[in-house]
């Protein structure tokens, strides 16, 4: 086992404890939210140096280039990357130094949503076909490394006999975070409920008084005496508060 793989195994053992189990509902292929409001957003992963592509470590002369969550054309000086250059762009590219050839494996819209491995690591799957037509998968597992301050790194961990690939992306932006879910706040909901019940109270009460008592004008106001006395009640309440909750007697006046 190489030193890189040994270090990676230590990261996997320690950092997988950071990911709690639970369904993570995807809003995009790179973002998901759990029931507790936490989730993952890989769109903020820092771009790599090759037009935004992050270069992986090399294994068996094979190197991957990953453009997180969106597509671009790859250009690496000294390497033939024409297979990963297109108007639409690519998200995952494989380069083989043996024959100096590059292959576009997938675009961002062809990737899976965020799923979870058996050890709760978040991952994104990239299904692809080579010239033999057999469907294969490149899996990128995301590891949060906020414990140790190291830059974002893409590690090519394993190449199976069937040419399925497994990579690990280590980044502080791969950590679980509190997600801001769009929607009405609690205060907004309470204000809406207040207006609804106020409308029912005043309109319903006025209609009932009109039909049952034949009320007109101000007489249609429900609990008319209370609302007319409300300003005086508020004034007395303010005076009571400023007098330190002490009732002022007639003699003191």
| CATH code where residue 135 lies | 2.70.130.10
Question: pLDDT band at 221, cuts 50/70/90?
Answer: confident
Whether residues 122 and 29 share a domain: the answer is: yes
- Asked if residue 174 lies in contact with residue 142, where contact means CB atoms within 8 angstroms, the answer is yes
User: What's the start-to-end Cα distance of the chain, in Å?
Assistant: 93
> 157 lies in a domain?
yes
> 252 lies in a domain?
no
Q: Which of 74-78, 165-169, 173-177 has the lowest mean pLDDT?
A: 173-177
Whether residues 174 and 190 share a domain: the answer is: no
Domain count for the chain, please give it: 2
Q: Residue 162 gets which letter from DSSP?
A: T
Question: pLDDT band at 246, cuts 50/70/90?
Answer: low
- Asked if residue 32 lies in contact with residue 25, where contact means CB atoms within 8 angstroms, the answer is yes
Nearby residues of 126 by Cβ (< 8 Å), 6 or more positions away: 91, 92, 105, 106, 110, 111, 112, 137, 138, 139, 140
Whether residues 109 and 153 share a domain: the answer is: yes
> 86 lies in a domain?
yes
> 54 lies in a domain?
yes
Question: pLDDT band at 58, cuts 50/70/90?
Answer: very high
How far are the Cα atoms of 67, 84, 109 from residue 87, in angstroms, in the given order?
15, 10, 15
> 219 lies in a domain?
yes
Whether residues 55 and 163 share a domain: the answer is: yes
Q: Over the stretch 193-206, which tens digit does the pLDDT of each residue have?
A: 988 988 898 888 88
- Residue identified by tokens 């319903």 is 204
Whether residues 149 and 195 share a domain: the answer is: no
Residue 170, token pair as written in the block? 């280590």
Whether residues 125 and 37 share a domain: the answer is: yes
* Global pTM value: 0.63
Whether residues 74 and 145 share a domain: the answer is: yes
Whether residues 79 and 61 share a domain: the answer is: yes
> 217 lies in a domain?
yes
- Select from 146, 178, 210 the last residue of a domain: 178
> 162 lies in a domain?
yes
Whether residues 169 and 237 share a domain: the answer is: no
Whether residues 83 and 155 share a domain: the answer is: yes
- Select from 137, 153, 178 the last residue of a domain: 178
Question: String of b and e for 148-166 (b: at least 16 CB within 10 Å)?
Answer: eeeebbbbbbeeeeeeebb
Whether residues 207 and 98 share a domain: the answer is: no
- Select from 178, 205, 223 the last residue of a domain: 178
Which residues constitute the domain of residue 127?
Answer: 3-178
Q: Over the stretch 7-50, which tens digit does the pLDDT of each residue have?
A: 444 444 444 444 444 578 888 888 888 888 888 989 888 889 99
């Amino acid at each position: 086992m190489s030193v890189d793989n040994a270090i990676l195994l230590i990261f996997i053992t320690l950092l997988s404890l950071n990911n709690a189990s639970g369904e993570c509902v995807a809003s995009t292929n790179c973002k998901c939210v759990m029931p507790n409001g936490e989730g993952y957003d890989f769109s903020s992963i820092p771009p790599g140096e090759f037009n935004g592509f992050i270069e992986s470590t090399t294994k068996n002369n094979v190197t991957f280039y990953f453009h997180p969550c969106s597509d671009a054309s790859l250009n690496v000086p000294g390497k033939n990357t024409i297979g990963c250059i297109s108007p639409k762009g690519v998200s995952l590219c494989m380069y083989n130094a043996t024959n100096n050839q590059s292959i576009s494996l997938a675009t961002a819209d062809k990737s899976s949503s965020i799923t979870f491995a058996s050890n709760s690591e978040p991952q994104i799957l990239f299904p692809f076909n080579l010239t033999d037509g057999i469907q294969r998968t490149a899996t990128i597992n995301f590891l949060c490394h906020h414990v140790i301050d190291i830059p974002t790194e893409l590690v090519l961990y394993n190449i199976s006999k069937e040419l399925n690939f497994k990579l690990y992306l280590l980044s502080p932006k791969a950590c679980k975070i509190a997600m801001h879910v769009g929607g009405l706040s609690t205060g907004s909901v309470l204000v809406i409920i207040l207006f609804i019940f106020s409308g029912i109270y005043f309109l319903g009460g006025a209609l009932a008084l009109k039909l049952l008592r034949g009320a007109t004008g101000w007489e249609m106001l429900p609990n008319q005496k209370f609302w007319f006395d409300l300003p005086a009640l508020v004034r007395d309440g303010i005076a009571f508060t400023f007098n330190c909750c002490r009732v002022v007697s007639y003699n003191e006046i």
